Amino acid sequence: MGKATGFLEYQRVDSSAKEPLERIKDYNEFHVPLSDDDRQEQAARCMDCGVPFCQNGKMLCGMISGCPLNNLIPEWNELLYHGQKEQALKRLLMTNNFPEFTSRVCPALCEKACICGVHDSPVTVKENENSIIEFGFENGLMQPDVPAVRSGKKVAVIGSGPSGLAAADTLNKRGHSVTVFERSDRVGGLLMYGIPNMKLEKHVIERRKSLMEAEGVVFEVNADIGKDIPANDILDSYDAVILACGSSNPRDIKAEGRSSEGIYFAVDFLKATTKSLLDSGLSDGKFISAKNKNVVIIGGGDTGNDCVGTAVRQGCKSVIQLEMMPKLPDERAENNPFPQYPRVCKTDYGQEEAIAVFGHDPRIYCTTVKEFIPDEKGALSAIKTVKLEFVNDAATGRRVPREIAGSEEIIPCELCLIAAGFLGCQSYIAEAFGVELDQRTNVKTESDKHSTSIEKVFTAGDMHIGQSLVVRAIREGRDAAAEVDEYLMGYTNLG
């Protein structure tokens, strides 16, 4: 380890954040990095454990424990402590194509599995990672790495989210010629339009896109394969195809009054805001506005929190976030031991901002929408909610929600955002290539494989495994790239 007594001498110190009432004035990232000396102290807290669960990345009880990319965390923490940032950068890039993304939007699975966190606070792995990659960009170390030899093989990647970009980056560095097709007007998938600027400013994506272009990757935007461009044209022109189109079918809420004006999916709300922000600084008015409206968000996850933060910045009159499930405990329960991912309640940036503006937590638990209530013109004016209790289902043995009679409540609402997750890939792209889907409407493959039922067609990311995390999508892209490389060359040295 970098310093044998570091975890005893230094307490965890996180980067400071602008106060909520200050940061809601714009859409910029709001964390202030530590000084180099302070960052080295934080790296010194890494214990270099005999069993570093932080880099394990395995499923435990249905949840991932540790980093799915198996990042060499103790190694680059030691190098960071000794001030050897260039060497730390090289170790980081061995396993992670895009640390600048994961160090901003990943929920830090590594930290949840940090042994230092069992009896103390975990190491600031995520912020250490961010300091390393940003040092690389700021000091000219992130230069184009153009393959010395090309294989003569051409690969098409459909979708430019994290899995598609990771597959493209990995295959290009191997020497294959890669073209990435994106149906939107900008590269990045949900990184670009599904994650607000406050968490990931878009120049970070553009910076990486420019680097990949300099290395030889070709990007085609406004290219909707299966609609504007026939799938057969792609199959005829490329030696292999990777479908990485995401899990983009939003889960709907079936309730009376659903057709009322003013009800939107969260992804449409977030995309419209980010696109207008990038196109015109919001001056074009081409976004779904929460200004002076009572906003209700259905869904308690990260996307719901992003909607809270965005609605607050737009000047909403009020904001409520409905969560079907009970509130998680504030500390680990006995049946959720280390190194399992801790199922505990967290208050994220959007909720912090709502508390600062309105004086209370926006979340209401064990509650769902029973009815959308429109006015005489068909515009949403209120919603009827109902409380839920969870009871044991004798047939399945599982706990299921049941409405509590007499618990209905009418809440004023002119804008409702549905952030209830996603149900799988959009069917038209699967149908265009003729690939099979499983029961969850994800592209079907053999276990731990990425090849589909169609020759030379592979899949990766959320389109393959369902809605998941950016860090897991990058893992998917890297694994799919290795499988494609072996298909094209007869062997692979990608890992």
Average pLDDT of the residues in 386-410: 92
CA-to-CA distance for 384 and 298, rounded, in angstroms? 12
125-151 pLDDT per residue, tens:
999 999 999 999 999 999 999 999 999
Residue 46: which pLDDT band, with cuts at 50, 70 and 90? very high
Q: Which long-range contacts (CB under 8 A, 24 or more apart) does 448-455 make?
A: 449/483, 450/242, 450/476, 450/479, 450/480, 450/483, 450/484, 451/483, 451/487, 452/243
Local structure of 346: helix, strand or coil: coil
What's the pLDDT band for 490 if we cut at 50, 70, 90? very high
Residues forming beta bridges with residue 387, ordered by sequence position: 367
Contact 411, 320 (CB under 8 A): yes
> Do residues 239 and 155 lie in contact, with contact meaning Cβ atoms separated by under 8 Å?
yes
pLDDT tier, 72 (very low <50, low <70, confident <90, very high otherwise): very high
Can you list the domains of the chain with their CATH numbers?
6-138 (1.10.1060.10), 154-248+423-489 (3.50.50.60), 263-418 (3.50.50.60)
88-107 pLDDT, tens digit each:
999 999 999 999 999 999 99
Q: What is the pLDDT of residue 49?
A: 87
d(CA 382, CA 384): 7
The pLDDT of 339-351, averaged and rounded, is: 95
Model confidence at 395, pLDDT cuts 50, 70, 90, reads confident
16-17 and 177-181 strand pairing: unpaired
pLDDT of residue 111: 97
Exposed (0-12), middle (13-18) or buried (19+): which is 136, by Cβ within 10 Å?
buried
Residue-averaged pLDDT of the chain: 96
Could you tell me the CA-to-CA distances from 283 to 29, 47, 289, 390 in Å, in that order? 20, 50, 12, 46
Sign of CA dihedral 4, 6, 7, 9: positive
User: Which pLDDT value is given to residue 397?
Assistant: 83
Q: What is the pTM of this model?
A: 0.96
pLDDT for 1 beyond 80? no
pLDDT for position 170: 98
Residue 458, pLDDT > 80, answer yes
